[in-house]
């Protein structure tokens, strides 16, 4: 209809132009319709339009008008011209349409690739995103259905399969209906499948990088938490905390860092058992484990090396205590103290969840701190025992010297004095000169006696044995060269070693206040609490005293610390000196 309309319109347009335009120029008018029809409807209708236009031109506009006379040299030329023009125009239009369609397809494919990239590269779960991505691919390419699988899926009579590779490794499979046109299948194979391969490869690499970064971040967090836990335990060890406190802290920190697993610390005993010291919470209570059965505790004892049992159900002969607790798996690391096996740190699981492979290495860092704490405690105990032995030996030597003075030298001086008095009394009057010399010598012996008696009393005051520490402090206050104000709250007899140490501290402090501090008043406060004896001696002297300067104070500090106590000197220059002592009453 469009072709007929064009031919009719062109024929009518040419009627007014018959007289003014030559025949060839008028024929060009029919090319407009041919070009339009060729552009829109292709070569077939273009040829038909060209032939019809040639006949219309010959019938209406070539004389004689209204009569069709075929002239080969003229009409064939017009028909050929019209047909060639139509065919060329149709071919050019087909090329243009094909190029436009190709560009449109490329643009749609590019938009599809961009959308799929956003979906697949921005998701945290690539597998779950494959379904929506395949559905969007089907919509964009106008397919009935499409599927993207990670696995190698073969094609069948219903679905065509396009394998997706990354080099030699298989990424997945693109599945589409098998009855698609060949050019569509070829398009999918040549252009869509390579894009999917690139996207899947990039998504897989991104997922691998993300997982690696996540694992690295989790590992860094774990290491940081573990270092913080180690630092807390190390701080306890450095501050001299008791082994019991360190044991509890280690098991608690391990519980925090290891998550769902339980930890325990056990010590090996000479009777062939391991006694539970800390950890496991309410699941254990007081417990002793035999080393004879097949258990982590027994294996560590026999091998002195870290070990694990991943499944106690398959153990050769699990220990009865392990069976009773319901332990499914365990790992243990020996605790070595100064080269000797002391105990074992254990991580256990009551569920089927396996214990991580790096647990033994993490336990080792904590067992080193446990060993350090135990070694420190033993060293402190040995040092305290050594100090106590030294102090005891010193006190015994003082008592022996006191007895030797009292039973030996003092008695001998008394005897010599009596002998001199008897000789003086028996001398005749004419020897008055010699009697005076003997009298002077006797007086000198009395002075020696008094000095030795004073020394003997200072070694171990007898008043302490009779009246206790309170009486001995009052005796020292009366003998002091400067006034002493006493505040005593000692309502019971204290252990002898405590009273002796306190006596010597008060004696030394009062002597220093009189000799060096230039003090005018000393305040002595002593209080015996339930388990601690507290003593403070404060003067108003010039200050400046320190343990490093006063050898007497250093020996007193050694005596106090040998009893498990603490002695502190506070002596700012110009503001007096305070000696503060705390001694546990129940400790030796």
Q: Which CATH class is domain 237-370?
A: alpha beta
pLDDT digits (tens, 9 = 90+) for 56-79: 776 776 666 666 665 655 666 777
Q: Is the pLDDT of residue 264 over 90?
A: no
Average pLDDT over residues 10-21: 72
> What pLDDT, on a 0 to 100 scale, did the predictor assign at position 23?
63
> What pLDDT, on a 0 to 100 scale, did the predictor assign at position 522?
92
pLDDT digits (tens, 9 = 90+) for 415-445: 777 777 777 677 777 777 776 777 777 777 6
Q: Is the pLDDT of residue 208 over 60?
A: yes
Phi, psi (deg, nearest 5) at residue 265: -125, 130
Q: If pLDDT is split at 50, 70 and 90, which confidence band does 176 have?
A: confident
Average pLDDT score, the chain: 77
How far apart CA 453 and CA 464 sit, in angstroms, is: 16
Q: If pLDDT is split at 50, 70 and 90, which confidence band does 316 have?
A: low
- The three state secondary structure string of 529-585 is CCCEEEEEEEECCCCCCCCCCCHHHHHHHHHHHHCCCEEEEECCCCCCCEEEEEEEC
Q: If pLDDT is split at 50, 70 and 90, which confidence band does 536 have?
A: very high
> What pLDDT, on a 0 to 100 scale, did the predictor assign at position 285?
53
Q: Is the pLDDT of residue 384 over 70?
A: no
How far apart CA 300 and CA 346 sit, in angstroms, is: 10
Average pLDDT over residues 511-537: 89
Average pLDDT over residues 383-408: 65
* Sequence spans of domains, the chain: 2-100, 237-370, 461-584
> What pLDDT, on a 0 to 100 scale, did the predictor assign at position 388?
65
Which of 382 and 197 is assigned the larger pLDDT? Answer: 197
Task: State the burial class of residue 132 (Cβ atoms within 10 Å of its Cβ: 0-12, 13-18, 19+).
Answer: middle
> What pLDDT, on a 0 to 100 scale, did the predictor assign at position 165?
83
Please give the CATH number for the structural domain made up of 461-584: 3.30.565.10
> What pLDDT, on a 0 to 100 scale, did the predictor assign at position 581?
92
Report H helices in 190-325. 193-238, 243-258, 296-303, 320-325
Look at residues 374, 373, 389 and name the one whose alpha carbon lies nearest to residue 558.
389
Residue 267: which H helix or E strand, with range?
strand 262-268
- Residues 166, 167, 173, 174, CA torsion sign: positive
Q: Is the pLDDT of residue 523 over 90?
A: yes
Per mean pLDDT, which range of 40-44, 134-138, 536-540 is the poorest? 40-44
> What pLDDT, on a 0 to 100 scale, did the predictor assign at position 525?
93
Q: Is the pLDDT of residue 398 over 50?
A: yes
> What pLDDT, on a 0 to 100 scale, did the predictor assign at position 521?
92
CA gyration radius, the chain: 57
Q: If pLDDT is split at 50, 70 and 90, which confidence band does 588 have?
A: very low
pLDDT digits (tens, 9 = 90+) for 326-382: 677 788 888 888 788 888 888 877 777 777 777 777 777 777 777 777 777 777 666
Cα 485 to its chain centre, rounded Å, is 57
CB 557 within 8 A of CB 567: yes
> What pLDDT, on a 0 to 100 scale, did the predictor assign at position 25?
65
């Amino acid at each position: 209809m469009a072709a007929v309309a064009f031919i009719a319109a062109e024929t009518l347009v040419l009627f007014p132009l018959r007289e003014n335009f030559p025949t060839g120029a008028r024929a060009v008018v029919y090319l407009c319709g041919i070009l339009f029809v060729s552009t829109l409807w292709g070569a077939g209708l273009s040829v038909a339009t060209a032939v019809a236009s040639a006949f219309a031109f010959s019938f209406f506009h070539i004389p004689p008008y209204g009569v069709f006379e075929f002239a080969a040299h003229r009409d064939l030329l017009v028909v050929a011209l019209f047909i060639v023009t139509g065919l060329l125009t149709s071919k050019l239009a087909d090329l243009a349409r094909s190029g436009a369609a190709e560009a449109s397809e490329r643009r749609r494919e590019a938009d599809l690739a961009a959308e799929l990239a956003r979906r697949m590269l921005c998701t945290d779960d690539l597998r779950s995103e494959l379904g929506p991505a395949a559905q969007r691919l089907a919509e964009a390419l106008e397919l009935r259905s499409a599927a993207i699988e990670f696995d190698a899926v073969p094609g069948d009579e219903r679905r065509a399969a396009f394998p997706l590779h990354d080099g030699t490794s298989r990424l997945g499979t693109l599945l589409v209906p098998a009855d698609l046109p060949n050019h569509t299948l070829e398009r999918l194979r040549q252009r869509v499948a390579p894009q999917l391969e690139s996207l899947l490869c990039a998504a897989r690499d991104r997922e691998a990088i993300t997982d690696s970064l996540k694992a690295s971040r989790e590992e860094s967090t774990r290491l940081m938490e573990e270092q913080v836990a180690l630092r807390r335990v190390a701080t306890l060890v450095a501050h001299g905390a008791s082994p019991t406190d360190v044991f509890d802290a280690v098991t608690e920190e391990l519980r925090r860092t290891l998550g769902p697993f339980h930890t325990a610390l056990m010590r090996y005993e000479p009777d062939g058992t391991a006694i539970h010291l800390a950890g496991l919470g309410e699941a254990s209570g007081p417990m002793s484990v035999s080393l004879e059965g097949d258990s982590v505790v027994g294996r560590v004892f026999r091998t002195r090396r870290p070990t694990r049992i991943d499944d106690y159900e398959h153990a050769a002969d699990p220990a009865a205590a392990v069976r009773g607790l319901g332990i499914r798996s365990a790992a243990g690391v020996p605790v070595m103290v100064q080269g000797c096996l002391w105990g074992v740190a254990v991580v256990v699981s009551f569920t089927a969840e396996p214990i991580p492979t790096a647990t033994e290495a993490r336990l080792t860092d904590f067992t080193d701190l446990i060993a350090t704490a135990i070694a420190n405690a033993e060293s402190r105990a040995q040092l305290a025992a050594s100090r106590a032995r030294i102090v005891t030996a010193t006190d015994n030597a003082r008592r022996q010297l006191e007895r030797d003075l009292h039973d030996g030298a003092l008695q001998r001086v008394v005897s010599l004095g009596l002998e001199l008095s008897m000789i003086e009394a028996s001398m005749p009057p004419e020897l008055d000169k010699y009697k005076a010399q003997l009298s002077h010598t006797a007086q000198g012996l009395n002075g020696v006696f008094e000095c030795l008696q004073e020394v003997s009393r200072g070694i171990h005051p007898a008043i302490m044995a009779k009246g206790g520490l309170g009486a001995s402090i009052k005796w020292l206050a009366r003998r002091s060269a400067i006034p002493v104000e006493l505040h005593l709250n000692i309502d019971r007899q204290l252990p002898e070693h405590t009273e002796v140490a306190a006596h010597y501290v008060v004696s030394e402090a009062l002597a220093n206040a009189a000799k060096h501090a230039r003090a005018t008043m000393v305040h002595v406060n002593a209080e015996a609490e339930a388990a601690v004896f507290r003593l403070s001696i404060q003067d108003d002297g010039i200050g400046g005293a320190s343990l490093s300067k006063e050898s007497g104070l250093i020996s007193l500090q050694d005596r106090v610390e040998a009893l498990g106590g603490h002695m502190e000197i506070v002596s700012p220059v110009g503001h007096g000196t305070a000696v503060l002592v705390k001694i546990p009453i129940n400790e030796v």
